[in-house]
Amino acid sequence: MARKVVNRKELRAQSDAAEARAKTTKKAAKEKPAKEKKEKAVKEPKKPAAKKPSRKKTAKEVRMKAYWGVFNPSLKRLVLFEYADKKAAEKKAADLTASSRSHHFVQLVKEAISE
């Protein structure tokens, strides 16, 4: 079967005519809403947009208190003393070391204060 011969000049003319029609309709469409917008602007002034408050995560402050802890070699805390009683904590560690074959030691412990 033979193909149909395409006339490119006619197709080009049709395309140009369609573009010209589209331009004129766009101009007419643009002019009408522009007039309506001016009328609306006169009637209703724009309200300023409300600013949204920014959400920042605040770091929760946790108060800590220092203690002296007496630990065994497997890092199990046996006794807890106030920070001012370091001598008592060292004495307890020495007593535990003398009474058993394992070495006990004193270490600073910080715990959160619950209010």
Residues 6+ apart with CB under 8 A from 21: none
Q: Which structural domain, as residue segments, surrounds residue 21?
A: 10-44
> Can you spell out the DSSP letters for 88-111?
HHHHHHHHHHHHSSS--EEEEEEE
How far is residue 4's CA from residue 12's CA, in Å, rounded to a whole number? Answer: 17
pLDDT value of position 46: 72
Supply the pTM of this predicted model.
0.47
Q: Is residue 94 part of a domain?
A: yes
Q: Mean pLDDT, to the nearest integer, of 48-55?
A: 83
pLDDT value of position 7: 86
How far is residue 26's CA from residue 37's CA, in Å, rounded to a whole number? Answer: 16
Same domain assignment for residues 73 and 34 = no
Q: Is residue 5 part of a domain?
A: no
Same domain assignment for residues 37 and 69 = no
Same domain assignment for residues 70 and 40 = no
pLDDT value of position 112: 93
Q: Is residue 81 part of a domain?
A: yes
How many folded domains does the chain comprise?
A: 2
Confidence bin at 2 (pLDDT 50/70/90): low
pLDDT value of position 76: 95
Confidence bin at 42 (pLDDT 50/70/90): low
Q: Is the pLDDT of residue 62 over 60?
A: yes
Same domain assignment for residues 35 and 70 = no
